[in-house]
Chain A
Amino acid sequence: MTTVTRRNVLKGGAAVVGGMAGILATGRAPAYAQATTVHWLRWTDFVPASDQLLRNEIAKEGEKALGIKLNIETINANDIQARVTSAIQSGSGPDVVCVLNNWGQLYGESVADVSDLAEALGKSQGGFYETSRAVANDGKKWIAVPWCIVGLQIAYRKSWFAEIGYTDGKFPQTWEEYREAGKKLKAKGRPIGQTLGHTFGDAPAFAYPYLWSWGGKEVEADGKTVVLNSPATVESVKFMVAFWKDAHDEGGLAWDDSNNNRAFLSGTCSATLNGASIYIEALRKPDTYKTEAGGQLKDDILHAALPKGPGGQFSYHVPFSNLLMGYSKNQDAAKKFLGWIHSKDVYDKWFVSQKGFSVGPTTDWEKHKLWGDDPIMLPYKQAARTGRFAGYQGPSTRKAAEVVTKYIIIDMYAKAVQGMPAEDAVKWAEAELKKVYV
């Protein structure tokens, strides 16, 4: 048994006082107390298995391989911007933040330059998709490392569309056809489910490509001249008003990104633009989600791209990218971690856990054997190739990000659906855009 003497206590006390003085002088914890921790803030994934994988396996492997402790924090995607803003303003917070859309452009001055890492990643994995580059590069440098792209396709009920003539997995090819199909389905109590609410994913992913497909656009290629108020945009708004009334679940004006999942899985809507999370959930619980005939819902789901308009056929898939925060005191460790987690072997595990919900940020991931596993997921495989991004025809700059976060394009359609004349809704949106693009 060790005897605690007064002398020992005094010695220990002196050591502590001396140590504290050292810590205060250097502003750092002593070496023996430091376990380099990288704090990674992410959204709560719509594929829960991926979050479990990150926490239970990848974090442990990272600690072993890099000697870095990984602190993964997941929050509601809607709250990420608030967290980033407060972290930047206070100069402390997560070392790495995984942001959606082109939000990274809002924080360009407050993040570390990760060009070396991003360039190397792009070169070694087949090159980035345009979407990945648009949101993570400010034209001069890489402000984020592209992480993935969540493909958005229309999930639809195969049997219900077959009942109205779209047999053998066919799907309406134009907006007119989609409206007619939706009209028939709504008459049967099976409307199309689409959000025009203030949501980060499904609403912009529907409203932007819809606008482009009619020939409308936010700005010219110079990224400054607002050209929204065009006959094409007005036509798109007029069509939307009728389309909404004829074919949609009108509650969609208040839907968030999870409402359509619930509506589809409960058999309340027949088609909805979404990531593959509906299908993945139906796969996960085949005996929970059933069709009205008693079959498994997973066998009655197919995916299709958004229809064509007079201006062409477009899509908007939601990219994710990792910001290495400028205030981080662990930049070297965080960079090491980002390089490691993007390496093919490590990223592969996470990619597989997504089951196709996300595609990689680079084209190499299209070659993955995962795409041979399930033909229902095949439309997601190359979806990222057709994606344009917010701010089109200009670059996806901070101003374009501001337009996204103010929901201006979405609200233009929502206002018209609520009764504002199409011309007035477009004028309103144009005026809002001009305030941003001054």
Chain B
Amino acid sequence: MRLRSLVAAVAATAIGISLAACGGGDKNGSSGGSSGDQTLTYWASNQGTSLDNDKEVLTPVLKKFTDETGIKVNLEVIGWNDLQTRIQTAITSGQAPDVVNIGNTWAASLQATDAFLPFDGDAMTAIGGKDKFVPTALATGGKEGTDPTSVPLYGLAYGLYYNKAMFAAAGLQPPKTWEEMVTAAKKLTIPGKQWGMALAAGSYTENVHFAFINAAQNKADWFSADGKPAFTADGNVQGVLRYLDLMQQDKVANPSNAQYDNGTKSVNDFATKKVAMVINQNNADSSIVANGMKAGEYGVVPFPAPAGGEQVASHVAGINLSVFKNTKHKDAALKFVKYMTDATTQSTLDKPFSALPVLKDAKPNFTTDATEAATFQDIYNTKSKPLPLVPAEDQFESTVGKAMNTMFAKIATGGTVSADDVKAALKTAEDQVAASS
């Protein structure tokens, strides 16, 4: 029965497309021009402390847009567990919103579906020109050398958050290298009381980011120049193993972390002072404060590389804004993108969503802690490397991320993972990606 319903669901989606394809004909005739009652549908991702919080923050901002332009915006906030599937369904069925937030790492993969409007010369001019964006942020918008199908909206970067009081009590300085970080974490691990670090070791999206960053510190790449997966390079294997060893060899993270399937759980451990350090993107700030920790009680330094390694502390993380190609309100959608990425809106939204500015010359305002703001801005501008901008990027995330989940689970349940095991797991992931590209 359930098999049948699964098949039916897949097939029904397929029928949906055929119907949409039939209905697609009239779209060219009626699009543009119409100045009557325009309503845009906008899918926003969850950036605040809850879906409701996002709605509260965005509603006045969208109202201002309506007042200025007469274009109404129909907002839906979608949680991260659903967003990718929702976008996928929208592409498949053609029943899409006009404007959507995407994780910027999906940009090249989504671009490959051909369902999004490329920001070519005219479209780019309509939203205010490409020169207003930070170049590294804009580079995440699509494959290199093509017109991007998304533009940056919120900038994010990883940082190593540390508990100032715990570090002071142990007479430690914030770590500058990987080795210092591990030494500090070991010293701050007190059996039965606290752990040195918390890892979201059961979250494939978090895990794959660290696979990428640790490999980048080893100067290794996951895809060859022609876009073919090359997961088993030695630098990748060693990078993954180094991260796994935080739990396996260094024993500075609670094995229970292997069940942490999202970043919020590890951030909460940090905010409730069960752990001394956590590596998270700067949007952790709102969660940390919401859990009762005060702004001055924690500090942030760049996630350190091993001595002699490449100084990569983050991927260029963040949220991009895309317009669906089959929108009936192209001009209105572009106006909306322009509005969302203009300096005033950006500075209004960066604060509640703890985001870094994606516009040149904009000052970060997500925190009152000037040092923290400067640290994150520095990481974002100079120590970040974009994730591979290839169509198979999303498959890289799911296969390598899930392989790391499994390896963490093995470690947590008492097994050991050697370099050969990592290599074998990455080989499997590589085969999976190769099979479907």
B partners with A: no
